[in-house]
Each structure stands twice: as structure tokens, then as C-alpha cells.
Structure 1
Amino acid sequence: MVSLTELSAALGSQLVFPSGKQLTNRQLTGVHVSELEDPTPYLEGGELLLTTGMPVVRSAAAAAEYVTRLRHKGIPALGIGLGPWLEEVPSSVAEACAAAGIDLLTVPDGVPFQSVSRAFWRLSARSSQADLMGSLGTQTALAQAAMRPDATAAVVRGLAQALGGWAAYLPADPGPATYWPESAEAYIPTLRTETLRLNRAGTHSAATFEIHGQPVVEYSIAVSGRIHGFLAVGPGRTLTAADRQVILTVCTLLALKARQREVVSGATSTLGAAVAKLVLHGHTEAARILAEDVGLQDLPRRVRVLGLSVRAGDNAELLIRAASSLSPDAGLPPLPANLASCLLRHEEEAALYLVLPEEGVSQAGQDRIQDVNDPAPAHPQLAGALSEPVSLGEVAAVMPAIRRALRQARPGSLAGTGSAPNPQVSEWVETLAAYRRADLIATVTEYLRHRGHWENASRGLGVHRNSLRHRISIACSLLGVDLDDPDVFAPLWLELRHYER
């Protein structure tokens, strides 16, 4: 925009301000020429109005009414062209303008009004170019900020500084807001409430509202139709076209960062699922190698396996968030509230399995702090099953027990896999222990630990493979069962683990 001071300085003697008066620095939106007694229907407000004085020469009352209409329209300045109608500005016009707070200027005789208009538009073009260059410089700085590790915080801070106000980014999913300066923290609760309303309304381009009487503009940050967050801006001044372009640039940068996080998260989830599948099916060493090769976190030494029932159309993320509200059976720890951070998850046979670090579950009672703005969603049909702590290599052996416990679990409950005694399995163990010609307890335990792999089991026992085959044959004959049957080896394995202790 062009100020009255800039226009007067550019025109010099062609636009004269009364001597002894101080020229104000009011901003002009344009220059308009009119000889109508009431030109306000053709004005928007903010213009410098030029006239030869025809509407004000009739009487002082007419001049007062004319100036009053201009004040109501928001005209900041009036220019009187001296010449055929007026040789000087009437005192009644000067007094009316002073009372209305309108700057009064004169255009000397012989100076075309077109000169004033051309000067204004030259200055306006120069101002727009300066704004554009400044905007480009700001956008370049913001793009560089987006390359930093703390990209979101750097971009939000840069935007707030560029606008001379405050800015905040609120993720659509539960998470802390990013804002600048520190004083903007007071606005966050109100922004969360407004953002929740806008998020329910779906994708939108922008919304305006007020906080403590201050105008706020909020933009959605969306990628592929999904809203990732909201950018709220409390500008310290009236936004220009260049300012809005800077804001749109920030929205684009935040959307790009959101897309990058989405791609990385998707790839990480896929790799985590592959590692989990290997663990669940007993390929522990392959799982360790894959996790190391793709840069996933070190696999825990001891884990608990959580199984969740899945129905057609269920959203895995919502199921995981709802799992922390399951009521655990006696003797089971409550599930931690941060299950969503578990990368080792795999879905198969109408169930979702999560491989959880033992210490993460044992400390769940201390971690069950839910955000009041984001409580765990209700899922009345959800059921879960949680294994006892086992080493990573023992996970495959407990999977049949988990599946069985999950099928039997009541909706809304978290069932265990080894708390209920099984008389038949206890009898099996007693039969094995009673055999004196060989240590069948150690033999069967090692065989089940290695899921029937003869080489690994015989190496673990320090006996020849044929000796191991002979002992397993004796165990199967004594028990009258097939040790490779999942319904046999799962409960027997759990009972033998207790027996070893």
C-alpha cells in the first residue's frame, strides 16, 4: 500500500499540504476523482478523493454534510483542485475536514488530477514489487528452515516473525502443539476446541474466528484428503497479499513434511510387520537380522505377545488404542497406554498380534495416563489375550495358547494363557519325570523350545540326533500324544517352563 506521506513526497509541489499542519502517514487504497455531491456509493473507503470543489462551494452547511459523508465512508484524505471554481480552500471546508479527521490537500491550478493518479500507481507498483521481493526472501528462508531437524518448530517460528504476530501448529492426531512465541501457549486450549470442531467438519481451506477479540486465521494441512493438522495464525497487522502467499507457502511446507512422515511411517510399519511375522513363526535369528538391516530398534530379549480380535472392517490403529481399556483377568498387568508406538505387529487369522517388551507391560500401571482430550475409544466387541513373559525364541511355542485364549476371551476382557491349571498337562509332566532311563523332561523341553528342529535340539542337549529321536519316540508312546500337535505342545511347553523353575 501507499501512504499519504509517500505520495506527497513523490509529487512535491503538485500536491500541497496546508502550511503548519503535520502530514499523517495514512495508507491509501487508491485515488478517485468525482464532482458528485455524494460520491460515496462509488467509493470503497481508503481512497484519496480529488474534486474541483463544485460540491462544497454552495454553502458551509453543504460542505459540512459533504465531509461527514466522506468520514462515514472511511475516506482518509480530500484533495481540492484549485482553478476555475476555487482560488483557495474555503475555511468552512478546512474546519469540517479538521473536525472529521480527514487530511485536506490542494492540487495547484494547472496540475492534472491524472498526475496524482499516475504517481499513486507508480508507488503502488514499486511497493508491490518490494513486497514480492520480501515475500520471496521470506519464503526462501522458510524453505531452508523446513530442511532442519526441528522443521515444524523452525517454520512456525519463521512465519510468526515474518507476520509480526504468533503462529501455532496443532496436529490432528493426539500430540503436542508447536507454537511461537511462548506467550502463544495461552491460546492453545481455545485453539484445540476450535480445531476439534473444524476437524469434525472435514477438509476445509481456511476458517476465521476470534480469540480474546483478536482475529485468527486457521488453515488445514491436508495430504490426499486426510487432515494431518491445523496452522493457526494471529497476525500482528492487516494481512497483505504477500503475507497470504507466505502463509500458503508454510502450509505447503507443512504438508510436505506430513507426507514425508506418512511415507516413512508406512515403510516402517511394513518392515515392523515383517519382523513380527518372523518372530511369531519362530524365525528369531532371521527377525534379528532383518531388524538390524533396516534400522529398526533392537529386539527385546524377553517379551509378551498380545493378541487382539479383529473383525472385517476394523481399523487396526483404533483397535490398538482401545486395547488399553481392556479389563485384565486376575494376575495380569494392565496394558500400557502407548501401544500405538509398538512396531512389531502382525495380522493373521482374524487376529492382530503385538510383540511387546516385557518391561513395557510390567510398568503399564505407571504409564496409563490418557490425554483427557483424547480418551481411549470404546470398542465393546474387542477381546484380548496376553502371554506370560517369554524369550524371543519361545514366542512361536506360546502362539497356540494365545490363539486359544483369544477365542475364549470375553468381549472387553484381557485373558491370560497360563494362569488356569490343566490337570491333563500336569499328568503328562509327571509321567515324563517318572521315567528313569533318560531325562525326558529336559529332552522334551529342548525339543519344544526348538519347535521340533532335530539338529538344534540335539545340539542343545549335547546328544546325537538319533538318540534324541529315540527319546522323543518314547515320550510320545508314554503320553499317547503327538508332540508336534499344537494343542499338545503349547500347553505342555508352558507347564514345563513352570516345572523348570
Structure 2
Amino acid sequence: MVTLEQLCERLSGELRPAAPGPIGRHALTGVHISELADPTPYLEGGELLLTTGIPLTGGAVAIRDYVGRLAAKGVSALGLGLGAGTDLVDQELVSACADAGLPLLLVPEAVPFMHVSRGFWQLVGRSEQADLASRLSLQTALARAATRDNAAQAIVTSLAQGLGGWAAYLPADDGTETVWPANAADVVPRLRLESARLNLVGTYSAATFPLNGTDVVEHSIVVGRRTVGFLAVGAGRGLRKADRQLILTSCMLLSLTAQRAQEASRVEAELGGVIAALVLAGHVDAARLAAEHSGMPPLGDFARVFALRGEGVEALDSPDLGAIVGSLAATGPNSDLTPAGLRDRVSASMLRAAMGGIRVVILPEATAGGATESAPGGGTPRGDFAGALSAPLPLQAVAAAVGPVSFACRSARAGTVVAVTDAADDRGAAWLDALGRHPRGDLTETVRCYLAHRGQWESTARELGIHRNSLRHRIAVATELVGADLTDPDTAATLWVALRRPEAG
């Protein structure tokens, strides 16, 4: 924007006020030259109109009519050229301009009107270059903001500072809002209500509404076909084209940031699934190595096993699983995790696996005891969901605990999470019971001897006094009864501990 004051400063004495006093910061839209008695049909308003005085002949009435027409049209100023038949300024013109609030300027003799027009356009070019540089600077600041760790906060801050107002980003999943400046946070509840009322769910939807005396512009942030959040801006003034471009750029960057976060979450979930599969298969060392090389948190020495059943549970991600878990009531002895505590653990863990309609989540613990959360829990139980949770176990025992925890999950009453204590030991006791109830009463002793000799056929058969083929047959029957491979170290360890109990003897 070029002002009358700037133009006079630019031209110095070549354009000066007819009367002493401040010139004023009237905005100029252009410089127009006309000798018509009524040039207003060719004007749009905001111009500096230059004349040699030809329209000002005819006395006081003609002068005041002429000035009145210019003022009514919104002309910013009248410039009178001296030396082309007008050497003195008519005081009636000075008075008429003062009464109409129309600045009267003088162009000295020998200064061509084209010089005034050229000075105006030079200022326009300089102003546009400054605006362009400013816009480029703001666009660059936004682009840099998108590369920072907390990209959403940086983008919102840069946008609000660039517009001289406030800006807020509201995640669609009711996550934590990002607002700048901080003292504008009181608008968030109203923004949430307006977003719901206007139903800004859809590809690049936008709306404008008043809020606390300010016009607010709000855009939906979309990734694919899913609305992931809303960007609201209150500039406290009318938005220019450049301002709207900054807002659209911010929307695009927030969309890319959300898409990048979703992609990172998907990759992390896949890595977590691989590591969980390794743990559940008993390959704990391989799981630790995979976690280390993938950049995921290192696996501790202890973990809990959590299982959840319910419609569509195998497709849910960690936050959705956590939300469901937070609504379930803990039951049974040693239910040391509150619904809210369990919700937080499940939401944070990426070590997930789907097993026959059950969602299994491994919850790492820092110590065997684990801290007991005391936060209040969750709300009305959701649908037919139910879960089961083990006590803290050595990571090597997690694979053996999955069976009893999953069984407890399937048996749990809807809307509850049951606690499973000594999951591995319970499994071993069940295996011994199955072996003991088989018509071949020698299966338990056969398995004990086989495990004591660490799976060596010759030495085991020798101690039992049977042929190796008979031993192989007995072990095959036992393997089918327990439903597990007796050569697996976790299975062998669980059975051996159960066999060493006094009641097994």
C-alpha cells in the first residue's frame, strides 16, 4: 500500500501541500490525470487526481461542485499543476477542499505530471517487492516449522505470528490442542462446539464464524478421506489474499505432518508385531536384538501378558485398544492395575499379536513387581469385550503364559478384566493332570525321565528299561496330550517345574 505521505516524501518538493500542516496517510490506488469538469465516471476512488486547473474556472459555485464530486467519489487527493495557466492558487479552492476533507497538493511549474505518476509506480513496485519478500519469509518459516520435532506447535506458532493474531490446531480424536499464544486457549471449548455444529468433516471444508468479537476462519485438516483435525485462525482484521495463502499452506503442512505421523505409527506397529511374534515364539534374544536395531524401546527383563476378546479386536490399534481397556472393570485377586493404569500400558505398547480372535499385548515392566497405578478408571464397559492380565513374568516365561491368559480371556465375563496368577505354573499343572489321567499311567514318569536326560533317547530308554521305539511312541502321545513340543525350552521348563512340586511327586 502506497500512501499520500510516502509519495510526497518520495517526490520531495515536486509535490507539496497547498496549506501548511500534516499531509496524512491517505492510501492511494493510482494517479489519474484529467481536465474534465466531471472526471468521476472514470475514477474508482482512492486516486490522486492531477489537473492544470481548467475544470476550476467558473467561480466559487463551480469550484465547490467540482470538489464535492471528487470527495463523494472517494478521491484521495487533488493535485494542481502550476505554470500552465495557473500561477496562483484560488483561495476558494483551498477552502472548498478543506471543507470536503480533500487534501490539496501543488505540482510546481516545470514538473511534468508523468514524473508524479512514475514516482507512484516506483513506490508500488517497492511495496510489492517488500510484500513478496515478507510472504516468502513467512512461507519459509512455515516450511521450516514443519521439519521440527513438534511440527504442529511450530506451524501454529509461525502462522499466528505471521498474521498478528491467534491460531489453534484441534485434533479430531479429541487429543491435546495446540494454541498460540497461550492466553488464547480459552477459545478452544467454543471452537470444539463450532466444529461439531458446522460438521467440518470432509475434504478441505472451511467455515467462518464470529467468536469473542473476532471473525474466525476454520479449515478441516484431511489425510486421505479422513479428517484428522481442524485449524482455526483469528487475525482480528480482514484477511488479505496473502494471509489466506499462508493459512492454506499451513493446512497443507499440518496434513503432511499428520500423514507422516500415521506412517511412522504404522511402521512402528509392524515392527512391534514382529518383536511380539519373536517373544511369543520363545526367541527372546532375537526379540531383544530386533528391538535394539529398530530403534524401539529396549525390552526389559519382565513383562505382563494381556489378552482381549471382542468384535473386531484383532484390527484395533493401541489407542483404540487402550480406550476399550479403560472402560473394563478389574476383577479377581491381585488385580493391582486399575482400568486407567492398564489403559495407559496397553496404549503405549506396540508389542501386539492377533491369535485366534484374541488380541495379545505384551506389556513390558521395569521390575518384577512393577509400579501399581492408582488413577481412577474408565466408564461403562463397551460391548462384549473382556480381557485377562497376567502378573509380571520373566520375559522368557511370556510364551508359556499366553495359553492360560488367552483361556482366561475367553472365559471372562463381558465388561471385565480378570487377573491370571502364576500363568506358567498353572499351565504346567494342567499338562501334568492330562498326562496323569491318560490310561497309560507311565506317561508322567516317562516325561520326567525324558526331561531329566534333556531329550536324549538312549539314556532315557536305558533308565526306563524300554526300547527306543517304545519311548518315541510314549513321547509322541504325551506331546499330543499337552499340545506343545516337549523339545521347546519354555515347554520343558514349565513341565519340569511342575514335576518338581511336592504334590506332583
TM-score of the aligned structures, taking structure 2 as reference length: 0.71
Query: Deviation at 1:123?
Result: 2.0
State how far apart, in whole Å, the 2-side matches of 1:199 and 1:500 are: 67
Query: Deviation at 1:277?
Result: 1.7
Q: Per-residue CA shift, 1:203-227, capped at 9, x if unaligned?
A: 3254433432233334444333434
Look up the equivalent residue of 1:181 and give its one-letter code.
Answer: P
* Alignment-derived partner of residue 403 in structure 1: 406
Aligned residues: 465
Query: Deviation at 1:95?
Result: 3.8
* Alignment-derived partner of residue 337 in structure 1: 343
* Alignment-derived partner of residue 6 in structure 1: 6
Matches within 5 A, 1:86-235: 88=90, 90=93, 93-98=96-101, 102-105=102-105, 116-195=116-195, 200-204=200-204, 206-235=206-235
For the pair shown, the structure with the greater C-alpha radius of gyration is: 2
Note closer, same or farther for the CA distance 1:91–1:138 as it changes in structure 2 (3 Å cut).
Answer: closer
State how far apart, in whole Å, the 1-side matches of 2:162 and 2:208 are: 20
State how far apart, in whole Å, the 2-side matches of 1:277 and 1:40 are: 81
Q: Secondary structure at the match of 1:298?
A: coil
Q: Secondary structure at the match of 2:384?
A: coil
Which sections of structure 2, spanning at least 5 residues, go unmatched?
Answer: 437-441, 465-469
Look up the equivalent residue of 2:362 and give its one-letter code.
Answer: V
Q: Secondary structure at the match of 1:169?
A: strand
* Alignment-derived partner of residue 450 in structure 1: none
State how far apart, in whole Å, the 1-side matches of 2:362 and 2:502 are: 24
* Alignment-derived partner of residue 26 in structure 1: 26
Deviation larger for 114-123 or 32-41: 32-41
Residues 327, 377 of structure 2: 8 Å contact kept: no
Residues 338, 375 of structure 2: 8 Å contact kept: no
* Alignment-derived partner of residue 76 in structure 2: 77
* Alignment-derived partner of residue 355 in structure 1: 362
Deviation larger for 2-11 or 244-253: 244-253
Residues 310, 384 of structure 2: 8 Å contact kept: no
State how far apart, in whole Å, the 2-side matches of 1:500 and 1:189 are: 64
Query: Deviation at 1:427?
Result: 11
Q: Per-residue CA shift, 1:115-163, capped at 9, x if unaligned?
A: 6555433322221112212333343344444444444444444444433
Note closer, same or farther for the CA distance 1:145–1:494 as it changes in structure 2 (3 Å cut).
Answer: farther
Note closer, same or farther for the CA distance 1:350–1:197 as it changes in structure 2 (3 Å cut).
Answer: farther
Q: Secondary structure at the match of 1:201?
A: coil
Q: Per-residue CA shift, 1:229-284, capped at 9, x if unaligned?
A: 44443437654444444444444444443333232222111000111122223332
Q: Per-residue CA shift, 1:405-440, capped at 9, x if unaligned?
A: 3333343232444699x9x968956998xxxxx9x7
Note closer, same or farther for the CA distance 1:40–1:325 as it changes in structure 2 (3 Å cut).
Answer: farther
State how far apart, in whole Å, the 1-side matches of 2:314 and 2:49 are: 66
Q: Secondary structure at the match of 2:17?
A: coil
Give 1:366's match in structure 2, choosing from 364, 374, 377. Answer: 374
* Alignment-derived partner of residue 485 in structure 1: 483
State how far apart, in whole Å, the 1-side matches of 2:385 and 2:481 are: 32
TM-score of the aligned structures, taking structure 1 as reference length: 0.72
Q: Secondary structure at the match of 1:130?
A: helix
Look up the equivalent residue of 1:323 and give its one-letter code.
Answer: V
Q: Per-residue CA shift, 1:297-319, capped at 9, x if unaligned?
A: 12233322222225359851334
Q: Secondary structure at the match of 1:277?
A: helix
Look up the equivalent residue of 2:217 and give its one-letter code.
Answer: V
Note closer, same or farther for the CA distance 1:407–1:493 as it changes in structure 2 (3 Å cut).
Answer: farther
Query: Deviation at 1:326?
Result: 1.3
Residues 27, 76 of structure 2: 8 Å contact kept: no
Look up the equivalent residue of 2:329 and give its one-letter code.
Answer: S
Identity over the aligned pairs, expressed in percent?
35
Note closer, same or farther for the CA distance 1:327–1:210 as it changes in structure 2 (3 Å cut).
Answer: same
* Alignment-derived partner of residue 439 in structure 2: none
Q: Secondary structure at the match of 1:266?
A: helix
Q: CA RMSD in A?
A: 5.0
Residues 382, 411 of structure 1: 8 Å contact kept: yes
* 1:386 aligns to 2:389 (yes or no): yes
Look up the equivalent residue of 2:97 and give its one-letter code.
Answer: A
